[in-house]
């Protein structure tokens, strides 16, 4: 599973970070600090929760 983000559309609500801090780090200005990542085994549920928490729906889950 992979997570893809439209980082340029992030408005800094940080809900993904609140749900899954280790997977969705923030930059110094409070915006998501990654454009995507491969989800480690065991973190799938947490990654999906973080994606669902985004009110802008800029986070996509890509199943392998």
- Residue 26 is predicted with a pLDDT of 96
pLDDT for the residue numbered 13: 95
Q: How many domains does the structure of the chain reveal?
A: 1
Name the residue range of residue 40's domain.
Answer: 2-62
Residue with tokens 């993904």, as numbered in its chain: 16
* Whole-number Å distance between alpha carbons of 50 and 10: 13
pLDDT value of residue 3: 98
- What CATH number is attached to the domain comprising 55? 3.30.70.20
Check residue 64 and give its pLDDT: 81
Q: Give the span between the Cα atoms of 8 and 19, in whole angstroms.
A: 21
The per-residue pLDDT string of the chain (64 residues; one tens digit each, 9 = 90 and over) reads 999 999 999 999 999 999 999 999 999 999 999 999 999 999 999 999 999 999 999 999 999 8
In the chain the first and final C-alpha atoms are separated, in Å, by 5
């Amino acid at each position: 599973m992979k997570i893809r983000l439209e980082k340029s559309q992030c408005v800094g609500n940080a809900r993904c970070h609140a749900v899954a801090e280790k997977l969705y780090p923030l930059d110094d200005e409070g915006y998501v600090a990654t454009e995507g990542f491969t989800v480690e085994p065991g973190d799938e549920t947490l990654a999906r929760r973080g994606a669902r928490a985004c009110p802008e729906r800029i986070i996509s889950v890509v199943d392998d």
